[in-house]
Amino acid sequence: MIYLDHAAATPVSKKVFEASGPYFLEEFFNPSSPYLPAKKVSKEYEEAKNVIARAIGAKGSDLVITAGATEANNLAMAGVSGGVLYLTTEHDSVRRVAEQYGGEAIKVLPSGLIDMEDLRGKITDETELISVSLVNNEIGVIQPIAEIGALVREVRMDRLRRGVKRQILLHSDASQALNLLDVNVARLGVDLLTLNAAKVYGPKGVGALYVSHEVRLNPLTVGGGQENGLRSGTENVPGVIGFAKAVSLAKEHLNGNRKKYAEFKKVFLDELQGYELPVKKHMLDNFVVLCYNGIDAERLVFLLEEKGVYVATGAACAASKGVRSHVLAAIGLTDSEIAGSLRISFGETNTKEQIIEAARIINEVVRAERERVAHE
Ligand code: PLP
């Protein structure tokens, strides 16, 4: 099997699995319990949060642990009374919620980058929250969050001068970023940042929302008051211990990963034939979007699977519902180009040999498909 869909899911790394294990079996205590072994678990849980937070230049007390990035994105918007701006290419867990708040979409340029002019023009005194992901999950485009952060600071100063009381916050979903980017909340200028363990070789269903100490959110769940009252429910100790290990490993491998995936991308594209690249720049090197106009990419996914190569047509959740990619449409692809596009995402399960082999198999399958279509 050659798995080329790491943007959808990464396997839990062995070291993460080993770090979590004892917290399922022996150290199973509820961190809120009064006896010593539970207090020890509580301390280790807090330390794991510190490790995750430090990786993004924050403190453990700034993090709200959630059951994945979807919940973190929902929580980021809980409490706003309206005035949400979101990038049109956001994941549904931002888009759908923003729509519920009557949010307005910000355009992207054909490169997939945010249209800063459109953003500037849409910010009003009513704007409370701007949500732009650091890395897009379908095309791997890296957004200029620090530039948006600087703009938000300007708006804040201007409101202060004019006596406009409404707050303006910047949220970024960094679910796909930690394997290749050095993420730092101060450098980015974000008030809220979403993290996702499942995309960094950690467990699924574990995520976090960084919340700057100046921000007040409304909890989505109420109960025992865990996570500073923002996310009640008994702590997922094994998940968070694993998440911390995964984040540490991602940090450790950052430079190696950058080199490795840049090389993978080069050999992959050198070997491939007859494709177009709708997205070429400002993207993570572990992402490739291939467009085979006139061919049905859904069929390619199925034919490639028969040959042991696993790829995607877009976000896994959209693909399973047969929904046309809103991301590829936003960057200006025609319906036929969207229908012919594949998303490839490299990861730790891959070797250079596999990448070359996969490219050869894709060439072969596409060639056969083109012939079949020509004779229809
Ligand atoms: N945001 C982005 C950018 C993602 O890629 C994903 C997962 O695909 C999510 C949010 C949702 O994450 P989860 O399904 O773990 O809640």
Q: What is the pLDDT of residues 212-228, one digit of tens each?
A: 998 989 999 999 999 99
Ligand 1 lining (C-beta closer than 6 Å): 68-70, 73, 91, 93, 133, 137, 173, 175-176, 196, 198, 207
φ/ψ of 130, rounded to 5, equals -120, 130
Known catalytic residues are: 317
Percentage, residues of the chain above pLDDT 70: 98
Q: Which atom in ligand 1 lies closest to the alpha carbon of residue 204?
A: 15
Q: In the predicted model, is pLDDT for residue 297 greater than 80? A: yes
Measured by CA distance, the residue closest to atom 8 of ligand 1 is: 8
- Distance (angstroms) between ligand 1 centre and the Cα of 45 equals 23
Pocket test for ligand 1, best of 10, 12, 90, 93 (most atoms within 8 A of CB): 93
- Distance (angstroms) between ligand 1 centre and the Cα of 75 equals 14
For residue 341 the two structure tokens come to 């596009």
Q: Which atom in ligand 1 lies closest to the alpha carbon of residue 196?
A: 15
Taking the C-alpha atoms of 242, 348, 132 and 138 in order, what is their torsion angle to the nearest 10 degrees? -130
What is the reported pLDDT for 315?
64
For residue 176 the two structure tokens come to 């796909």
What is the reported pLDDT for 103?
96
- Distance (angstroms) between ligand 1 centre and the Cα of 206 equals 11
What is the reported pLDDT for 82?
85
pTM equals: 0.97
**Which domains are delineated in the chain?**
2-10+253-374 (3.90.1150.10), 14-252 (3.40.640.10)
What pLDDT digit, counting tens, does each position of 163-216 carry? 999 999 999 999 999 999 999 999 999 999 999 999 999 999 999 999 999 898
φ/ψ of 109, rounded to 5, equals -80, 170
* Rounded Cα–Cα distance for residues 46 and 54 (Å): 12
Q: Which atom in ligand 1 lies closest to the alpha carbon of residue 198?
A: 15
What is the reported pLDDT for 164?
97
Query: Averaged over 101-113, what is the pLDDT?
Result: 97
Q: Which atom in ligand 1 lies closest to the alpha carbon of residue 316?
A: 8
What is the reported pLDDT for 79?
81
3-state secondary structure labels for all residues of the chain:
CEECECCCCCCCCHHHHHHHHHHHHCCCCCCCCCCHHHHHHHHHHHHHHHHHHHHCCCCHHHEEEECCHHHHHHHHHCCCCCCEEEECCCCHHHHHHHHHCCCEEECECCCCCECHHHHHHHCCCCCCEEECCCECCCCCEECCHHHHHHHHHHHHHHHHHHCCCCCCEEEEECCCCCCCCCCCHHHHCCCEEEEEHHHCCCCCCCEEEEECCCCCCCCCCCCCCCHHHCCCCCCCHHHHHHHHHHHHHHHHCHHHHHHHHHHHHHHHHHHCCCCECCCCCCECCCEEEEECCCCCHHHHHHHHHHCCEECECCCHHHHHCCCCCHHHHHCCCCHHHHHCEEEEECCCCCCHHHHHHHHHHHHHHHHHHHHHHHCC
What pLDDT digit, counting tens, does each position of 320-372 carry? 666 789 999 999 999 999 999 999 999 999 999 999 999 999 999 999 999 99
Measured by CA distance, the residue closest to atom 2 of ligand 1 is: 175
* Rounded Cα–Cα distance for residues 122 and 317 (Å): 29
What is the reported pLDDT for 317?
59
Measured by CA distance, the residue closest to atom 15 of ligand 1 is: 68
* Rounded Cα–Cα distance for residues 376 and 371 (Å): 9
- Distance (angstroms) between ligand 1 centre and the Cα of 374 equals 38
What pLDDT digit, counting tens, does each position of 117-154 carry? 999 999 999 999 999 999 999 999 999 999 999 999 99
Mean pLDDT of the chain: 96
Q: In the predicted model, is pLDDT for residue 31 greater than 90? A: yes
Q: In the predicted model, is pLDDT for residue 81 greater than 90? A: no
Percentage, residues of the chain above pLDDT 90: 95
* Rounded Cα–Cα distance for residues 203 and 67 (Å): 10
Q: Which atom in ligand 1 lies closest to the alpha carbon of residue 317?
A: 8
- Distance (angstroms) between ligand 1 centre and the Cα of 175 equals 6
What is the reported pLDDT for 322?
63
- Distance (angstroms) between ligand 1 centre and the Cα of 9 equals 10
Measured by CA distance, the residue closest to atom 10 of ligand 1 is: 69
What is the reported pLDDT for 323?
72
